[in-house]
Structure 1
């Protein structure tokens, strides 16, 4: 009986050590596929900028969406003012100095493109236009910010749910 228990413990130890070794190999393989920047502070900086952009939008978006959903029956003046306020506050987002110069320029351009989107949206509401310029501005923004994020190995962000 003692030999049987000892044999079972020995088998259990061997199986557990093999599983641990396999798990260690998987972790190593995953970290080799991740770009070097993704493990550093660059990813954190980009994610913080993205969150600051989203928070800025959400803070003032309600009058804009209310007006757009009301089919022109809502408060146009409040909607235009809110959309322009979002654009101005987006331009106030600061890019940390520790970000690579090219990436910093890309993020500044992305923020400007998003601000232009909100200005186009305000103009479209005021003029009652179909919004082709608005769609084009949003597409340009998504392309620019997507390139910046993909450069460091991140998925391109999609702001669709945050702007409506």
Structure 2
């Protein structure tokens, strides 16, 4: 499927599911990695991740398109278009769009760094684990207001 076919498909889904035409551009963006698609507030265009189409097929991508069209139509009508807005949630459920896209196989998982530093209170011995290095002179113990010392784990 190319951008022209995607454009026609988005226009058809918009008319069929929302009853309103889609008047802007829809295109594939191969640089998208962690998202199925995105809607741009400034120019009202929609981009779709082509890897979702290759991996999960037309049905899943149609749900992603409906999700982005919910943002599109609500934003243009001046209603709540953000994920947390009740109007968005209601419209998404009404048109049977997906709330989240499926993760792609082989996509890098976010790895959590282990704690590398420990702040220890000189007075009471309370320990505060930290992933990033901090300046202990800027902080005090939350329990006794004692001085903190930085240790590497």
TM-score under structure 1 normalisation?
0.28
TM-score under structure 2 normalisation?
0.30
Q: Relative to total residues, which structure has the larger strand share, 1 or 2?
A: 2
Flag the structure with more relative contact order, 1 or 2, with Cα contacts below 8 A and sequence separation at least 6. 1
Which has the larger Rg? 1
